[in-house]
Chain A
Amino acid sequence: VSTATAPTTRQQSSGTPRWLLEREVALCPCGCIGKRSKANFIDKTITGASSVMRQALFTDEIAAQRGLMQRLDPRVKAITMLALVVTTALIRNIPVLIGIYVLALVLAAASAISVPYFIKRVWLFIPIFTGIVVLPATFSFITPGHVVLPLGNWFGHRVGLTSQGLRSAGLIVIRVAASISLVVLVALTTTWTTLLAALRSMFLPRMFILVLGMAYRYVFNLLGSVTDMYEARKARTVQVDNAVKSGRAFVSATAGTIFGKAHAMSEEVYQAMVSRGYTGHPRTLSAFRVKAFDIAWVVGCAIVIGVTLGVDHVSGR
């Protein structure tokens, strides 16, 4: 009883004005009563920033676990996954694409990734968005062909959903999902530094890798500054903040400040690099070794690519 009454007594005794303690009416998120309240730009940006950081931390956690994909040499992993993504792009049959997607699910399960999380991460939100976008393309107006579901006549022509349109929509949705699955699989099971080292072995210039690595590192640094600024603004805001004009001015000022910070930081980083002996020519260490397991993996991937392309070719069209 005492725990339940304690907050109320504290509220009454404190000097906080009552209007600040009252909850706003009509804030039901589904919009059933009163005005619909949409998340405002400050909340969205703070959530976005924290989700980027959470994703990066989560990746490190998964990449540190023991699993199939984690055991692979990062170079081998990057190159074989690129080959699989190209294969996915070349395939023209829905069943073969579903096969690749199932393979990605199996690999995720074998790499200590929770399958429901993996499915959610992939399908939200691009494949679902794609499905909505290609919906009109199933109509005979856009993709002419054999009408399988007639929806009436239009100036003497039969109109409706065409088999070509439906197949095209299915192809694009499942292909998008399979490609994203493969990329997410690599992204989740590889730490950022090892992935950079892997990219270097793929004939990319060292300068580019160095820029990529530094940019990634300072994204998180600047993200911290952005979060600080937005949280400070949120802390100073009392009522629902929907002023569009002042909101835009705030976003612009934040972006301008971030650019100033980024530029000052680039100067400091450069001086730190020079004081540690940087002369404009980066040096890197490379300590990867291809093991028998990697060779077996490459052979496995080659067989998968060969079989899928073969089946796709035989099923034709």
Chain B
Amino acid sequence: MHIPDGYLSPSTCGTLGAVMVPFWVTAGRRVRKVVKSRYVPYVALGASFSFIVMMFNIPVPDGTTAHGVAGTLTAILLGPWAAVISVSVALVIQALFFGDGGVLAIGANCFNMALVLPFVGYGVYRLLSRNISLTNPRRAVAAGVGAYVGLNVAAMCAAVEFGLQPDLFKASDGTPLYAPFHFAQTIPAMALAHLTVAGLVEFALTFGVLAFLQRANIPVLKINHPNVPLDGEMPDRRPLGWRWAFVGLGVLAVLTPLGLLAPGGAFGEDAPENLDLGKYNLNAVPTGLARWSSFWDHSLLGGYGFKSGEHPNIGYIASAVVGMAVIAIGVYLLFIVIRFASRLRTERSSPAAPVSP
């Protein structure tokens, strides 16, 4: 997944590098707040560790070997913010001294492997390992699943970065200037490789290391899990916070502009005048369709754009923002109504019940 120079346009690299800067600054601050003046050796040895683990060849059935990225593993052992810095430093060393991954593409590679991968992987791990003791075997499985998901999401980011290139950067005669493959090719190719071999390797490595440390070196696991009990059940079984739902919705909202690049339309959603009549052996648009299709044409943002048809891209994003706002307000109003109704019912069913202490 190390993107070399030349695959991505300089503007893509610059944008992703600029996106990384605030994360690097925040990561530096947050880690230094926890480890204080031992920051440099703490993070540096973490970086050496991620560099070394990226070199490990892991045996795969059929006799071949593959190597992992271990971003999730670093995040589980040192915390996600320390992983951002450690994996970034490892990637910088690889790019500058061993020519593995581009120098201009450092921003893009760090975005995929040092930001998306550790955070997604660690998030999934935390979600699955809630209320589990430190030595529970399920925790190692949770780490493996987190690594699998994290690697695949990171690969998907790389696929989107590649797939954007031929649509955004081409010469006047249509020659793609950078990576030539479209989404239709990059996404299945990356997904296939990472859902099968690379993802399973990452799972095996992360699961194996966690299982080994659970047996052999508990103090090292305690670095990033200071308050997790060794065995037995967790003392506080908190239900999952509903705020997590917003994380998923937020990610979907950020991905909205990708819809601008999707070609074609959905089956059966065209306007009647776009109907290919000959294909269905028809001479005219059916009267019912003609009559009812124009029944309502007062929509505010028809065709997900402004009525005048100008600035289609801004119109599309404005439609998305308006749509999300309308749905959010609708759901909120529904929520208020339900709460009001349930309060009315409890008051009516037990009018004299004392307020619970």
- Tell me the A residues contacting B by CB distance below 8 Å: 38, 40-41, 44-45, 48-49, 52, 55-56, 59, 82, 85-86, 88-90, 92, 121-122, 126, 130, 134, 136-137, 142-146, 163-165, 167-169, 171-172, 175-176, 178-180, 183-184, 187, 192, 195, 205, 207-208, 210-216, 218-219, 221-223, 226, 242, 244, 247-249, 251-260, 262-263, 265-267, 269-270, 273-274, 278-280, 282, 317
Q: How far is the CB of B229 from chain A (nearest CB, A)?
A: 21
Given A89-B10, A258-B49, A48 contacting B174 (CB threshold 8 A): no
Asked if A137 contacts B180 (CB within 8 A), the reply is yes
Q: Which residues of A lie under 8 Å from residue B48 when comparing CB positions?
A: 215-216, 218-219, 221-222, 262
| Selected contact of B59 from candidates A55, A163, A165, A251, CB within 8 Å | A251
- Which parts of B98-114 form the interface with A (CB within 8 Å)? 98-99, 102-104
Q: Residue of A at shortest CB range from B59?
A: A247
What is the bound-complex CA distance between A169 and B289, given in angstroms? 49
Given A180-B5, A192-B97, A270-B41, A256 contacting B178 (CB threshold 8 A): no
- Which parts of B209-262 form the interface with A (CB within 8 Å)? 209, 211-213, 216-217, 220, 223
| Selected contact of A176 from candidates B4, B52, B96, B220, CB within 8 Å | B4
Q: Which residues of A lie under 8 Å from residue B102 when comparing CB positions?
A: 179, 183
What is the bound-complex CA distance between A222 and B166, given in angstroms? 42
A-B contact pairs, 19 of them (CB 8 A): A38-B63, A82-B103, A90-B10, A163-B173, A176-B4, A178-B6, A179-B102, A208-B89, A215-B45, A219-B52, A222-B48, A248-B204, A251-B59, A251-B205, A251-B208, A259-B213, A259-B220, A262-B46, A280-B39
Instruction: Select the residue from B4, B36, B95, B213 with max chain A CB neighbours within 10 A.
Output: B4
Q: Which residues of A lie under 8 Å from residue B179 when comparing CB positions?
A: 172
Asked if B172 contacts A317 (CB within 8 A), the reply is yes
Q: Which residues of B lie under 8 Å from residue A208 when comparing CB positions?
A: 28, 89
Asked if A273 contacts B41 (CB within 8 A), the reply is yes
Query: B47 at the A/B interface (Cβ < 8 Å)?
Result: yes
Asked if B212 contacts A253 (CB within 8 A), the reply is yes
Asked if A52 contacts B98 (CB within 8 A), the reply is yes
- Tell me the B residues contacting A by CB distance below 8 Å: 4-7, 9-10, 13, 28, 36-49, 51-53, 55-61, 63-65, 70, 73, 77, 85-86, 89-90, 92-93, 95-99, 102-104, 166, 171-182, 185, 204-205, 207-209, 211-213, 216-217, 220, 223
Q: How far is the CB of B301 from chain A (nearest CB, A)?
A: 32
| Selected contact of B220 from candidates A55, A85, A179, A260, CB within 8 Å | A260
Given A55-B98, A142-B182, A279-B37, A164 contacting B6 (CB threshold 8 A): no
Instruction: Select the residue from B7, B59, B212 with max chain A CB neighbours within 10 A.
Output: B59
Q: Which residues of B lie under 8 Å from residue A252 when comparing CB positions?
A: 204-205, 207-209, 211-212
Q: How far is the CB of B334 from chain A (nearest CB, A)?
A: 47
What is the bound-complex CA distance between A134 and B122, given in angstroms? 34
Given A142-B181, A142-B182, A263-B223, A244 contacting B45 (CB threshold 8 A): no
Asked if A45 contacts B56 (CB within 8 A), the reply is yes
Asked if B180 contacts A176 (CB within 8 A), the reply is no
Q: How far is the CB of B12 from chain A (nearest CB, A)?
A: 10
Q: How far is the CB of B147 from chain A (nearest CB, A)?
A: 12
Given A134-B180, A142-B180, A187-B99, A218 contacting B45 (CB threshold 8 A): yes
Asked if A145 contacts B40 (CB within 8 A), the reply is no
Given A251-B56, A270-B38, A219 contacting B98 (CB threshold 8 A): no
Q: Which residues of A lie under 8 Å from residue B85 when comparing CB positions?
A: 211
Given A89-B6, A263-B223, A207 contacting B40 (CB threshold 8 A): yes
| Selected contact of B6 from candidates A165, A175, A192, A269, CB within 8 Å | A175
| Selected contact of A126 from candidates B9, B40, B99, CB within 8 Å | B99
Q: How far is the CB of B200 from chain A (nearest CB, A)?
A: 10
Q: Residue of B at shortest CB range from A137?
A: B180
Q: Which residues of B lie under 8 Å from residue A223 when comparing CB positions?
A: 52
Instruction: Select the residue from B40, B53, B181 with max chain A CB neighbours within 10 A.
Output: B40
Q: Which residues of A lie under 8 Å from residue B181 when comparing CB positions?
A: 137, 142
Asked if B40 contacts A282 (CB within 8 A), the reply is yes
Q: Which residues of A lie under 8 Å from residue B208 when comparing CB positions?
A: 248-249, 251-253, 255-256
Q: How far is the CB of B180 from chain A (nearest CB, A)?
A: 4
Q: Which residues of A lie under 8 Å from residue B185 when comparing CB positions?
A: 136, 142
Given A143-B176, A223-B52, A207 contacting B28 (CB threshold 8 A): yes
Asked if A164 contacts B173 (CB within 8 A), the reply is yes
Q: Residue of B at shortest CB range from A273?
A: B41
| Selected contact of B99 from candidates A92, A180, A214, CB within 8 Å | A180
Q: Residue of A at shortest CB range from B180?
A: A137
Q: Which residues of B lie under 8 Å from residue A226 when comparing CB positions?
A: 52, 55
Instruction: Select the residue from A216, A252, A279, A282 with max chain B CB neighbours within 10 A.
Output: A252
Q: Which residues of A lie under 8 Å from residue B4 when comparing CB positions?
A: 126, 130, 176, 179-180
Q: Residue of B at shortest CB range from A186?
A: B96
Q: How far is the CB of B271 from chain A (nearest CB, A)?
A: 27
Asked if B61 contacts A255 (CB within 8 A), the reply is no
Asked if A168 contacts B98 (CB within 8 A), the reply is no
Asked if A219 contacts B93 (CB within 8 A), the reply is yes
Asked if B209 contacts A215 (CB within 8 A), the reply is no
Q: Residue of A at shortest CB range from B212?
A: A256
Instruction: Select the residue from B45, B96, B179, B208 with max chain A CB neighbours within 10 A.
Output: B45
Given A172-B179, A317-B171, A266 contacting B5 (CB threshold 8 A): no
What is the bound-complex CA distance between A213 and B39, given in angstroms? 14
Q: Which residues of B lie under 8 Å from residue A248 when comparing CB positions?
A: 58-59, 204-205, 208
Q: Residue of A at shortest CB range from B165?
A: A172
Q: Which residues of B lie under 8 Å from residue A253 when comparing CB positions?
A: 208, 212, 216
What is the bound-complex CA distance between A175 and B176, given in angstroms? 13
Q: How far is the CB of B309 from chain A (nearest CB, A)?
A: 27
Q: How far is the CB of A205 from chain B (nearest CB, A)?
A: 8
Given A172-B179, A212-B89, A258-B49, A266 contacting B95 (CB threshold 8 A): no
| Selected contact of A259 from candidates B49, B58, B64, CB within 8 Å | B49
What is the bound-complex CA distance between A5 and B135, given in angstroms? 60
Q: How far is the CB of B190 from chain A (nearest CB, A)?
A: 12
Asked if B96 contacts A195 (CB within 8 A), the reply is yes
